[in-house]
A and B are shown apart, each in its own frame.
Chain A
Amino acid sequence: MITKIESFIFKNSISINRTLVIKLITVFALVNILTVLPDVFHIFSDQGIIKSQVNQRYAFWYQPVLNWFFKSFSYFGLNANATLLVFIFIYISSLIAILLNFKRTGFAFVAWFIHFTLINSAYLFSYGADYFMSFTLFINLAVCSSLLFKKDIQSSLYSFIIRFLQIHLCLVYFFAGLGKALGTDWIDGNAIWFVINTYTSDSVIENSLPLIAYPMFFKILGWGTVALELLYPILMFTKFTRKVTLWLVVLLHVGIAVFMEFYTFGSIMILLNFIAFGQHFKLKFIEKINIKIKTKSLETRAI
């Protein structure tokens, strides 16, 4: 039994290449920070729309927040806004350093820590996508740290991280589905209808009006969402349903991103699914990248 568990967790020979995973997460984090860069002072500054002191009412004493650093940086003549800029600069530089394979573990820690500090400092502005970003940077830190170990341990550790992510995603979707299954709206189709009305644009609402005559359409979408999320753990670990489930999950998140305009949330969930189960997509360009990275790595070792 123990041998089976051990083999399941540590001997996952097929997965997305580690270097590709690190690069994808890093590029995503870079794009993510760029999407708020023009508004950083309004969101994170102590003179922002919601003052940092208000946001920090929700943080526990052990959660790092920007206010911790404002005072120390003031000794160097830096005000709060300048300190914030220093943090953002270090965050972006760390991500670039990871991309350039320079001291990846150290910079992965710095990137995770700064992102964590930023979301703690802007609690009221933070939502699901920010917490998934934080979790993704935690996974990135784990993947980068695995490179510090001996070659034979590295692959087992990487396999463990991928299994950890797969199981975590199963729990995420299971609870998302179970939560929806508790009520009545997702069963009678009203949930989809209300989501369209309250979260999408006027044009989407207008185009969905003729569908009112077909309530079964809303029911099927509602049931489908609940079933997909609730059964995700089973469907993803069953060989025959895995690939179609993956595409349905991607479709669900594309829908969330496009229609509800939750771009970051939709795309980070696709990214996490891709890292965890991407090898089952069997996309030719991914296989090519995997081979390219492996060849490059062998060449570097030979030199």
Chain B
Amino acid sequence: MKTFKYILIGYLITHITFMLIVGFTSFTGLKDKKSYETLNPAGQAIVDFSSLFECSKSVNDFIYFYSIFTGTNRGYSFFSPNVAETKVDIAFVADGNRIELPLLTQESKLKFECANLHFKSNIFDEEERDVILRSISSYLFSANPDIDKIDVYLHLSKYMDLQTARDLGYGVKRKSILGFSATKKEKIAKN
């Protein structure tokens, strides 16, 4: 029994260590100049300190393997370090009409929003963007056989910060951009 307890304590210590590494290394992505400038001085010091938790590839791979199986791999820094002031809605349009996705439940719609978020954050990665867009377009072409071309619009809403909203009154800057077009022959063009 004693040995069994020691094994469990060892496992708990290992889990804590792994989670500390996963947690701190998730901040190292903020080291690039653009993100670093958005941090407060203490935040910059913590990001610098986080580098101490960087491990070799093999150790990282092992920790990732463990955290995937326990559902703890994605880190926990939600809505941080700052919150985006811009909202991007993606709309699929054919012949001037918006194509609604056939998702029925709120949870499924939220899941699709998460896929959209990934798409938006990789919008400048051509390969990534095209693979996702091609898949969604192909699905929409199958569901709507009479459509030959789909335009992907990005509806941007930029919100003013609290100070500006107080000084100038509440307002939202909206802009719609025709981002991409996809044809039935799986061709995707950037507009």
Decide whether A and B are members of one complex. Answer: yes
User: Interface of chain B, helix or strand or loop or mixed?
Assistant: helix
CB–CB B73/A131 < 8 A? yes
CB–CB A175/B26 < 8 A? yes
Min distance, Cβ B167 to any Cβ of chain A, angstroms: 10
CB–CB B138/A179 < 8 A? no
CB–CB A10/B80 < 8 A? no
Interface residues on A, range: 35 or more
Q: Considering the complex, give the chain B residue whose CB is closest to the CB of A127.
A: B114
B92-130: CB near A (< 8 Å → 1, else 0) gives 000000000111111110111011001000000000000
A35 at the interface (CB under 8 A from B): yes
CB–CB A182/B27 < 8 A? yes
CB–CB A138/B105 < 8 A? no
CB–CB B26/A195 < 8 A? no
CB–CB B166/A190 < 8 A? no
CB–CB A51/B105 < 8 A? no
Q: Known A42-B101, A171-B23, A184-B40; judge A125-B114 contact (CB<8 A).
A: yes
> How far does the alpha carbon of A128 sit from the alpha carbon of B81 in the complex, in Å?
17
A263 at the interface (CB under 8 A from B): yes
For B46, B115, B118, the residue with the greatest tally of chain A CB atoms inside 10 Å of its CB is B115
Contact of B43 among A5, A9, A174, A182 (CB under 8 A): A182
Chain B residues with CB under 8 A of A190:
82-83, 85, 161-162
Chain A residues with CB under 8 A of B135:
49-51, 54
B63-90 contacts to A, CB under 8 A, are 64-65, 68-87
Which residues in A have some Cβ–Cβ distance to B below 8 Å? 5-6, 9-10, 32, 35-36, 38-39, 42-43, 47-51, 54, 57, 60, 62-63, 116, 122, 124-128, 131-138, 153, 156-157, 160, 163-164, 167-168, 171-176, 178-191, 193-195, 197-198, 209, 212-213, 215, 218, 261-264
